Chain A
Amino acid sequence: MERSRWLLPLLLMLCLGLGYTVLSMPEPVEGLPEMLVDNMEVAGVSNPVTAVLLNFRGYDTLLEMGVLLVALLGVWSLGGIPDYRESSPGLVLDIMSRQLVPVLILVAGYLLWVGADAPGGAFQAGSLLGAAGVLLLLCGWRIGNRCSGLPLRFLLILGLGMFVVAGTGLLLIGGEFLQYPSPVARELILMIEAAATLSIGATLAAMFLGSLPGGADK
């Protein structure tokens, strides 16, 4: 094993080098945080992380919704993964999921609403919705054929679509792309966040299922 003899010393050297780099990294001279604090009153929300995610660096979040969508398309296009073995979820899981899913949806709504001023926001709420979806899928629930076509796809692209529509609308009324006018910034951010939450939840649950829903129902 010629390779394994050199692996450990090389990795140790990498560890030492990275550690030294991290420890000797200089303090930033011009602080991005100060710039952010100065601009917080035009952001529309008072939680700085939400302001960065949805307002100052909205492009990142827009593209991230795209990444989620592309990942889901990748999962679907690989297709043909067998569904889980049929097994009854058992009484405890069945009853508990009925109690838990509404609570999870409620908490997701709360996190979304409170994200403007306190820790929380679209991603956290969306992943909670995704967790609720996973719980439902584990209990044997499958999306009906009626909803698995267009309505599901609409839900999946809602986040990205809302972002693009809001940005384009702002362009049309004479602003910049994704640069919200200060008076309506809060409402716009909340609208985009709500759409993104639904999309993230649906995307994560669909990824858990793994195959294109609808075909498996028959």
Chain B
Amino acid sequence: MEALTILNWVLDGLLGVSLFSLAWLALASPDIFKAIVLFISFGLLMALAWVRLNAPDVALAEAAIGAGLTGALLLAAFARLEDISIGASDGEEVQSHIQHDSNEEPK
């Protein structure tokens, strides 16, 4: 029984640390595509955390939505964003009054 408790604590600690670091990396990585993929894996691990918290209903919903649908939505929006920027770069010039605050994003 004692060993099982320690094992549970280790599992919870590992899960917590990896959840936090995945969220951190997803929000801090400079590449947006990488950020989205990390966020999807964050959603998958969240499903495990719900199971640990005795909430299997929430785990099912999170596995289907948090990992599947949100990821598909984000990736689709990212692809369309790239499409638009490719289309805009060989098209007309970007309007000038919002041109000069582009000191953060190279893209």
Chain A interface residues toward B at CB < 8 A: 47, 49-50, 81-82, 84-85, 111, 119-121, 123-124, 127-128, 130-131, 134, 138, 204, 207-208, 210
Contacts and interface: CB of A to CB of B under 8 A. Distances in A.
Interface of B: 56-57, 59-61, 64-65, 68-69, 72-73, 76, 79-80, 83-84
Contacts of A119: 56-57, 59-60
B64 A127 contact: yes
A210 to B, nearest CB: 8
Contacts of A85: 79, 83
A208 B64 CA distance: 15
Given A131-B64, A204-B69, A121 B76 contact: no
Given A49-B57, A81-B80, A124 B64 contact: yes
Contacts of A134: 68-69, 72
A120 B76 contact: no
A128 B69 CA distance: 9
Contact of B57 (A81, A84, A121, A130): A121
B79 A128 contact: no
